[in-house]
């Protein structure tokens, strides 16, 4: 006769065995019944995926800062490019309207009143003494722009040696105006190198020829301001160079002159 466990069946009075329902049992600690693990974890996953209170994913803060810096750089470049274009157009319009030109320096007349070579105390140095008068012509060729000379320095050279200097007081010229300034330059005991002493003597001896004479050079350094009306002004240095050929003193007059001016 088969054996039956009392937990699954019970014997009635009629001698037959009938199954009895299982009684709930308490699981052992740390033991999860099969089937219950699936039923408890699935709802939690469903809640995580479909919860209405779930927050959206946020971008890292450094990405936002990088994007903001890129926009700021783009805007600054656009503003700078616009300013450069507008400034270039304004300069072009001003130039086309005023047509500015550099002022000119020319020598209208010159006289070598006296000039001679002297021997120094040590008998090895040759000294130059000279007296020259120049009439300088400063002209403003502009038709709409005024010119102001705020500083004028003039240097007289024989060869590579500086022999005399002169300065001119500041003055202004209206457009199309020219002004004359008299310059008195004196060379007092200026030491000349032996090569230039020989050149002086050769030029003095050949001054009787048509193209002969003492060759000197006048260099001018002038601080100049162009005035475009009463608002716009432009300051710059103007450099002039004049090559002079003078007759032999006394009364040596200007024989030829060639002047150039540039910034």
Tens of pLDDT, residues 214-238: 999 999 999 999 998 878 899 999 9
For 179, half-sphere exposure in the C-beta direction (CA atoms, 13 angstrom radius) is: 14
Query: For residue 91, what pLDDT is reported?
Result: 79
Tens of pLDDT, residues 94-144: 778 888 899 999 999 999 999 999 987 677 889 999 999 999 999 999 999
Tell me the whole-structure pTM to 2 decimals: 0.67
Nearest to 151 by CA among 236, 258, 259: 236
Query: For residue 59, what pLDDT is reported?
Result: 56
Beta-carbon contacts of 259 under 8 Å, excluding residues fewer than 6 positions away, are 104, 105, 106, 107, 240, 241, 242, 243
Contact present, 161 and 201 (Cβ < 8 Å): no
Burial class (CB in 10 A: 0-12, 13-18, 19+), 22: exposed
Contact present, 253 and 234 (Cβ < 8 Å): no
Quick one: average pLDDT of 61-70? 71
Tens of pLDDT, residues 12-40: 445 555 555 555 555 555 555 555 544 44
Pairing state of beta strands 232-246 and 252-262?
antiparallel
Please provide residue 148's backbone torsions phi and psi, each rounded to the nearest 5 degrees. -125, 125
Nearest to 157 by CA among 220, 105, 202: 220
Tens of pLDDT, residues 73-95: 889 999 999 999 998 888 788 77
Tens of pLDDT, residues 189-202: 999 999 999 999 99
């Amino acid at each position: 006769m088969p054996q039956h466990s009392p937990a699954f069946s019970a014997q009635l009075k009629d001698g037959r065995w009938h199954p009895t329902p299982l009684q709930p049992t308490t699981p052992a600690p740390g033991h999860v019944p099969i089937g219950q693990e699936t039923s408890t974890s699935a709802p939690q996953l469903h809640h995580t995926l479909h919860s209405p209170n779930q927050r959206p994913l946020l971008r890292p803060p450094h990405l936002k800062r990088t994007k903001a810096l890129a926009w700021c750089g783009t805007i600054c470049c656009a503003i700078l490019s616009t300013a450069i274009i507008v400034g270039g157009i304004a300069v072009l319009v001003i130039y086309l309207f005023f047509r500015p030109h550099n002022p000119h320096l020319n020598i209208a007349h010159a006289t070598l009143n006296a000039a001679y070579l002297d021997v120094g105390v040590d008998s090895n140095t040759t000294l130059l003494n000279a007296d020259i008068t120049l009439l300088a012509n400063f002209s403003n060729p502009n038709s709409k722009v005024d010119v102001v000379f705020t500083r004028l320095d003039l240097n007289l050279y024989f060869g590579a040696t500086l022999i005399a200097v002169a300065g001119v007081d500041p003055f202004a010229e209206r457009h199309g105006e020219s002004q004359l300034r008299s310059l008195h330059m004196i060379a007092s005991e200026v030491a000349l190198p032996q090569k230039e002493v020989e050149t002086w003597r050769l030029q003095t001896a050949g001054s009787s020829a048509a193209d002969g004479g003492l060759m000197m050079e006048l260099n001018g350094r002038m601080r100049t301001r162009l005035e475009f009306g009463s608002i716009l002004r432009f300051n710059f240095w103007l450099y002039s160079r004049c090559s002079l050929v003078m007759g032999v003193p006394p009364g040596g007059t200007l024989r030829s002159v060639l002047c150039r001016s540039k910034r």
